[in-house]
Amino acid sequence: MYLEPLPIAILLTALLIFLIHKRATPNRSKLPPSPTKLPIIGNLHQLGTRPHRGLHALSQKYGPLMLLKLGSVPTIIVSSAEVAQEVMRTQDSIFASRPSLELAKQLLYNCRDMAFAPYGEYWRQIRKLCIVHLLSAKRVQSFSGVRDEEISQVIDRIACCSAVGPVNLSKILNSLSSGLIARIAFGRKFLGEERSKKAQELVEETSALFGGFYVRDYFPWLGWLGKLGGMDGRVKRCFINWDALLEEVIRDHEDRKRDQFGADQNEDLVDVLLALQKDRTEGFTLARDEIKAIILELFVAGTDTSYIALEWAMAELVRSPKRLKIVQDEVREILGNKSKVKEDDISKMSYLKAVIKESLRLHPPLPLLVPRESLEATKLQGYEIPRNTRILVNAWSIGQDPTSWEEAREFRPERFLNNLIDFKGNDFHFIPFGAGRRICPGMHFAISTIELALANLLYRFDWNLPNNMSPEDLDMVEAYGISTRMKSNLLLHAIPYKA
């Protein structure tokens, strides 16, 4: 195989830098265990196509606290509830920041969102704003009518499609999640078919970019390769398209406000953020780019979380007909002769809630939680952790731990009955939304959507696999990426149920 002189020179230069650095770096025996590294790439080759599984396999050999070199970035991998608790509770203040990721900076207005903002005063202010004004229980409840409308439309769509064959439930659930977030963020008046389609495309592209390999975040000194490979251009186009869409929507909202008087009873999230921008009582002024960053983040995270959780829950249930019958019997007994499930009915559905928790345990939407970074040097489990070290918590691996979960790989919702195990950050062997200061503030929003949608799907239809497929033959392989969608679309027969 012939190589051009330039790539050969680059590789030789990189190897020389590596050897000089290795010679100059002292042996630190108190660092966590680490697999053997290759020159330049470190341990990147050991991640595989599904990094959470590759890291889980490594943890079985090297323990629940490992040090990996991902390109040129030292990274601590946490794979047990015990170590996760130390990171996210005992030393939460030390591990509360985020690493400076070039991809996040370029897509999220220099990390002016909440998830990727570094720990500090700005993050505290923006988190308070989101929790109090955007994601509070009162605000989530205020959108109950929107949830009910969007889910009812999906049920009607499934009923129409079911007459002609199997329905592509994956596609329908993705459309439900993105449509619901769009309604809540932009409002019906500003949505429209064209904007809705554009937003869904941008969500998918953003998720793909965050799930891909961005060379600048692993080899800062090789950042120019992003231009040669086309990744930089792809990221730039994605940002420009998001910015244009968000600017258009914000201007429309501003124009409407100028033409109206009095309070609007149908506020969407853009309305709320624009009102906060003018409100000086909080002692914090929102810039326009910060409003855009917050909406963009809610759009992407909200769409993926609800869609993925619903897709896996339905897949696990059709693979377990016995448990599918149990949860459907529960929902239908509680509903009686009602036409659809309302949010007030959900509190009585203990088995449904257990199904959702078990699905989140087996398939957390974000199997590797958003990376953290140490603000100062510290120790974990007796090992030294230098300042500015990146931390990855493998929530998927923790959910598979046989010391915490009996028959950990089996779908058994019963394990969540008659106990107080929850996903709110207090049970560190079950952290699909994270824990501590950086716990996902939108989890209640996501769960309210997941519960209502799943209950209505189970109430209104009986579900079967197509072509006499046996449950064991259903493809449960995960797609590659930052989130764990199913690789193959979930196709099911939906048979309308008559109460």
Q: Where are the alpha helices (DSSP H) in 212-268?
A: 225-229, 231-259
Q: Lowest-pLDDT range, 20-34, 110-124, 169-183, 210-224?
A: 20-34
Name the nearest CA neighbour of 356 among 275, 455, 210. 455
Residue 190 — pLDDT band, cuts 50, 70, 90? low
Choice between 226 and 464, residue whose per-residue pLDDT is larger: 464
Q: What is residue 3's predicted lDDT score, i.e. its pLDDT?
A: 34
CB 392 within 8 Å of CB 75? yes
Strands 390-393 and 461-464, bridge-based pairing: unpaired
pTM over 0.75: yes
CA distances from 152 to 146, 147, 156, 251, 265 (A): 10, 8, 6, 31, 22
The response to whether 161 counts as a known ligand-binding position is no
- Please say if the pLDDT value at position 201 is more than 70: yes
When pLDDT is averaged across residues 335-352 and rounded to a whole number, the result is 94
- Tell me the per-residue pLDDT of 272-323, one tens digit each, with 9 for 90 and over: 999 998 887 667 789 999 999 999 999 999 899 999 999 999 999 999 999 9
- Tell me the per-residue pLDDT of 431-466, one tens digit each, with 9 for 90 and over: 999 999 999 999 999 999 999 999 999 999 999 999
Q: What is residue 9's predicted lDDT score, i.e. its pLDDT?
A: 44
Q: Return the amino acid letter for 75.
A: T
Q: Distance between CA 82 and CA 94 in Å, rounded?
A: 17
Residue 482 — pLDDT band, cuts 50, 70, 90? confident
Choice between 126 and 259, residue whose per-residue pLDDT is larger: 126
List, as own/partner pairs, every contact residues 208-213 make where C-beta atoms lie below 8 angstroms and the sequence separation is at least 24, other chains included. Answer: 208/481, 209/103, 209/107, 209/234, 209/235, 209/238, 210/103, 210/107, 210/481, 210/482, 211/480, 211/481, 211/482, 211/483, 212/481
When pLDDT is averaged across residues 468-482 and rounded to a whole number, the result is 90
Chain mean pLDDT for the chain:
90
Report the percentage of the chain scoring pLDDT > 70.
90
- Please say if the pLDDT value at position 257 is more than 80: no
Look at the domain 5-496 and name its fold: Cytochrome p450 (1.10.630)
When pLDDT is averaged across residues 220-243 and rounded to a whole number, the result is 85
Q: Lowest-pLDDT range, 94-98, 137-141, 224-228, 388-392?
A: 224-228
- Please say if the pLDDT value at position 6 is more than 50: no
Q: What is residue 231's predicted lDDT score, i.e. its pLDDT?
A: 87
Q: Lowest-pLDDT range, 187-196, 212-221, 242-251, 322-331?
A: 187-196
Q: What is the DSSP letter of 32?
A: P
Q: What is residue 114's predicted lDDT score, i.e. its pLDDT?
A: 95
Q: What is residue 21's predicted lDDT score, i.e. its pLDDT?
A: 54
φ/ψ of 82, rounded to 5, equals -60, -50
- Please say if the pLDDT value at position 416 is more than 60: yes
Token pair listed for 32: 């966590």
- Domain ranges (residues) in the chain: 5-496
- Tell me the per-residue pLDDT of 72-90, one tens digit each, with 9 for 90 and over: 999 999 999 999 999 999 9
Q: What is residue 73's predicted lDDT score, i.e. its pLDDT?
A: 95
Other CB atoms within 10 Å distance of the CB of residue 4: 8
Report the percentage of the chain scoring pLDDT > 90.
75
- Please say if the pLDDT value at position 183 is more than 50: yes
Q: Return the amino acid letter for 413.
A: P
When pLDDT is averaged across residues 379-393 and rounded to a whole number, the result is 97
Residue 4 — pLDDT band, cuts 50, 70, 90? very low
Residue 29 — pLDDT band, cuts 50, 70, 90? low
Q: Coil, strand or helix: which one is 77?
A: strand
Please count the residues of the chain. 499
DSSP string, 355-421: HHHHHHHHS-SSSBPPPEE-SS-EEETTEEE-TT-EEEEBHHHHHT-TTTSTTTTS--GGGGTTS--
- Tell me the per-residue pLDDT of 34-65, one tens digit each, with 9 for 90 and over: 999 999 999 999 998 899 999 999 999 999 99
In the 3-class helix/strand/coil scheme, how is 330-359 assigned residue by residue?
Answer: HHHHHHCCCCCCCHHHHHHCHHHHHHHHHH
